[in-house]
Amino acid sequence: MSDQPKPASSTLSTSGAEATLALSYVFSTPVIRPTADRQLLYLLVQITPTQEKVITKVPLNLCLVLDRSSSMRGEKMERVKEAARYVVDQLGPADTFSVVTFNDRANVVVRAQRVTSRDSIKNLVDAIEARGGTEMASGMATGLDEINSAYSPTAINYMLLLTDGQTYGDEEQCVTIAKQCADRKIVISPLGIGDEWNEDLLETIAARTGSSSDYIDSATKIVAAFRSKVEGYRSVFARNAELNFYLEQGSEIQRIHRVSPAISELAYAAPESVAQRIAEANIDYNEMAMAAPLEAAAEEQPAASEPGQQPPRGIRSLLGSRMAALGGAGNGQSSAPLVGAAPGSSLREMFDRPLPPPKAKLVEEVIEGERGNVLIGEGEARAGLQERQEKLQENERQQEQVRHELVLRLSPSRNAQLVSVPLGHLRGDEEHVFLVELIASPQAPGTRRIGRLAAVFDPPGQQGGSQAVANDMLLGFSLEVRPPYEQNAVVKSVVEKVIAFKLQSRAWQDLKAGDVRQATMRLKMVVTHLLSAGEAELAGAVNAEISHLENYGQASRSGTKKIKYGTRGLAANPATAKLFKSARLNTTSIAQR
C-alpha cells in the first residue's frame, strides 16, 4: 500500500485565495461488482490544514463558566484558580476574557474585557469561594451574556464550562442555552471533574455546538485540560466548517460518524434537492460556475481489481452485517477541469475573477486599539450593544446568503441530492476524520462518479469570504471482482473502533432500562472488538466493569466514565493516527490550478 504514490494535492479556494485546508478520502474497497442490488460501503474522509499555510493565532472571546458549589472546595478549586490564572497569562491584547461562577445562582467575577491588567483579573479569580448547590443553567446563561457583549464574527467565541456535580432541575434549560450558542456560532467545551457529574448532559451540550466534553479524573489534571482547550482553539484553521455530500446516481448516506478527535454520530438534516434549493434561492443555474460540464468526470474507465491479488474472505461480514445489526475509495482522480460561467472560460479565469468590494467593517473592529481598558458591559460601553448586535446579525445574514450560493455552485449537477453536516471550528492540533456509511446503487462497469464531497468553511481571522475545496467521489464497478471485496486496512480498523463505541453506548441504554443481562452481553462484545483492535488496556477496564455488573447489578460511576470516554477516543490514539498517515487517500481536489 505504501509503495503506491499519493496523488498530489492541488487545492484552491473558490474565492481565489489559497485554501487553508485539504480534503481527502478513501473507500473501504475501490472496486465493487455492478450487481442489481444496492451495496453498503464505507467512506473515510480526512480534513487537514495545508502544509504551506501557517496557522495564525485567532483572537479569542473566551468566557470561563466555573462551578463553585460546595463539592468544589479544597484542591479542586485551587487547581481551577491556577488554571484560570494560566489562561490569563496566555491571552493577548486582541483577546477578550470573562469569568462567570455558579452555585445556586450565577455571579460575574470578571466582566468581558481586553486583558490589559492581568494582576487585577487574577485577584478577582483568587477571591472565588466554593459553597452552595449546583444550577448550571444560570451560569451558562450569564456566560452567554458576557460572550454576546463582546461578540466578534472574526473571533472564536468560546465558553469553557467546568463542573463536578449534577445540576438540579435545569437540564432542559442547559440544552436550550447550548442551542442558542450554536445559533450564534459560539462553542461550548464542557469539562467534568470526578465521577458525580452527568456525562450525557455535558456531551449533549457540547454536541449542540460542534464540540465534545472531556473527563478529568483527577484535580491534578485540571490545569493541563485548560491548557489543551485554550491552545487548541488558538490553532483553528477553519471556522464554521461543514461537510457537504452531493449525491448522484442514486447513492445514499445512512450514517456519519466523527472518528477523530472523538467518536460520535453526527446529526444532519434530510437530503435536499439541489434543484429545489436553486429555485428557492432564485439563482440562474446557467450562470453557476460549477455545473453540468463536470459530467465528463464520470466517463467510463477500466476498473478491474489489481492482477494477482485475491480479496480476503469474511471481511464483508464484519463491515456490513455487524454494523447493520447494531444500528438496526477509490484512488482514481478526476482530471476534468472546472468550467466558468462563460462558455470556454478556464478554471484559472474563474478563480481570478475579482471579488465584490468588502463591506465596511464596524469602527469598533477597525480601530483595534481604541477599546483599551474599557470594561465591555459597563456604563456607556453597553449603550450601543443592541444596535451593534443588530448590525452584526445583518452582516451575518448577508454572509450566509453568499455562502448558500457557494454551496449550490459546488454541485456537480442540479439533479444531485445535498447532505450538509455542520462541523464547527476545526483545530490544527487535532486529527479530523469521518466515517461515512454510504449505499451505492447499481452502475454499469467502469469508474463512476457517485457524488461529490466538499468542505465549506470560513478562513480564520477574516470576516466573510467563505472558501471551499471539493473532490469527486469515484468508485470502480467491475465484473471481474466477487464479494467479499478486498478491504482497506485503515477503514477496517476504524470500523472496529466505531462498533466498540456503539456497543458500549447501547449497553448503558440497556442498563438504564433495567436489562443488566443484555448490558453485560454487549460489554463482552465490546471486549472482543477492543482486543481485535489491539486495545488491551481498555478491554481490561471493560472486563472489570463487567465483573462489577455481575456482582452488584449496577455499573460504577468511575468505570462508566472511563469506558465511555475511552471508547470515544479510540481513533485519536497515536496508533490510529499512524494508520491514517499510511493510507492512500485521494487528495486531488476538483479546484485545481
**pLDDT tens by residue, 375-393:** 444 554 455 666 776 777 7
What tens digit of pLDDT does each residue of 279-297 get? 887 776 665 544 333 333 3
Laid out side by side, the sheet with 96-102 consists of 106-114, 96-102, 60-67, 156-163, 187-193, 214-216
Q: Is residue 5 part of a domain?
A: no
We report the CATH number of the domain holding residue 276 as: 2.60.40.1510
Regarding whether 308 and 450 lie in a shared domain, the answer is yes
pLDDT band, residue 359 (cuts 50/70/90): very low
332-336, 412-416, 526-530, 532-536: range with lowest mean pLDDT: 332-336
Domain boundary among 189, 216, 234: 234
User: Looking at per-residue confidence, does 345 or 150 come out higher?
Assistant: 150
Grid coordinates of 510: 440497556
If one counts every other C-beta atom within 10 angstroms of the C-beta of residue 189, the result is 24
The boundaries of the domain holding residue 475 are 21-55+239-316+330-378+389-485
Domain boundary among 179, 204, 234: 234
Regarding whether 557 and 453 lie in a shared domain, the answer is no
Q: Is residue 568 part of a domain?
A: yes
Regarding whether 472 and 353 lie in a shared domain, the answer is yes
Reply yes or no on whether the pLDDT at 15 is more than 90.
no
User: Looking at per-residue confidence, does 6 or 567 come out higher?
Assistant: 567
User: Distance between CA atoms of 544 and 187, rounded to whole angstroms?
Assistant: 35
Regarding whether 346 and 218 lie in a shared domain, the answer is no
Task: Give Cβ neighbours of residue 401 (< 8 Å, ≥ 6 apart).
Answer: none
pLDDT band, residue 463 (cuts 50/70/90): low
Q: What is the mean pLDDT of the chain?
A: 79
Q: Is residue 9 part of a domain?
A: no
User: Closest by alpha carbon to 298, among 442, 475, 37, 45?
Assistant: 475
Reply yes or no on whether the pLDDT at 441 is more than 60.
yes
Residue 508: its pLDDT value, please?
94
Name beta bridge partners: 420.
Answer: 244
Q: Is residue 30 part of a domain?
A: yes
User: Distance between CA atoms of 172 and 126, rounded to whole angstroms?
Assistant: 32
If one counts every other C-beta atom within 10 angstroms of the C-beta of residue 128, the result is 17
Please, are residues 451 and 247 in contact by the beta-carbon 8 Å criterion? yes
pLDDT band, residue 180 (cuts 50/70/90): very high
Regarding whether 249 and 190 lie in a shared domain, the answer is no
Reply yes or no on whether the pLDDT at 132 is more than 90.
yes
User: Distance between CA atoms of 35 and 302, rounded to whole angstroms?
Assistant: 17
pLDDT band, residue 450 (cuts 50/70/90): very high
Q: Is residue 257 part of a domain?
A: yes
Regarding whether 112 and 254 lie in a shared domain, the answer is no
Regarding whether 283 and 168 lie in a shared domain, the answer is no
Residue 353: its pLDDT value, please?
42
503-510 LR contacts (CB < 8 Å, sep 24+): 503/326, 503/529, 504/542, 504/563, 504/564, 504/567, 505/564, 506/326, 508/555, 508/560, 508/564
pLDDT band, residue 41 (cuts 50/70/90): very high
Residue 446: its pLDDT value, please?
95
Query: What amino acid occupies position 227?
Result: R
Regarding whether 544 and 478 lie in a shared domain, the answer is no
Residue 346: its pLDDT value, please?
39
Regarding whether 220 and 122 lie in a shared domain, the answer is yes
What three-state secondary structure class fits 418?
Answer: strand
Percent of the chain with pLDDT over 70: 74
User: Distance between CA atoms of 390 and 398, rounded to whole angstroms?
Assistant: 13
Regarding whether 208 and 100 lie in a shared domain, the answer is yes
Per-residue exposure over 566-575, b if at least 16 CB sit within 10 Å of its own CB, e if not: bbbbbbbeee
Residue 577: its pLDDT value, please?
64
Regarding whether 221 and 259 lie in a shared domain, the answer is no
Percent of the chain with pLDDT over 90: 53
Question: Residue 465 carries which DSSP code?
Answer: -
Residue 72: its pLDDT value, please?
96
Reply yes or no on whether the pLDDT at 328 is more than 50.
no
What tens digit of pLDDT does each residue of 561-587 get? 999 999 999 887 666 666 666 655 555
We report the CATH number of the domain holding residue 138 as: 3.40.50.410
Residue 287: its pLDDT value, please?
55
What tens digit of pLDDT does each residue of 503-534 get? 999 999 999 999 999 999 999 999 999 998 88
52-66, 277-291, 388-402: range with lowest mean pLDDT: 277-291
Domain boundary among 214, 234, 254: 234
Q: Is residue 588 part of a domain?
A: no
Q: Is residue 591 part of a domain?
A: no
Helix (H), strand (E), coil (C) string for 10-60: CCECCCCCECCEEEEEEECCCEECCCCCCEEEEEEEEEEECCCCCCCCCCE
Regarding whether 443 and 422 lie in a shared domain, the answer is yes
How many domains are contained in the chain? 3
Q: Is residue 512 part of a domain?
A: yes
What tens digit of pLDDT does each residue of 264-273 get? 999 888 999 9
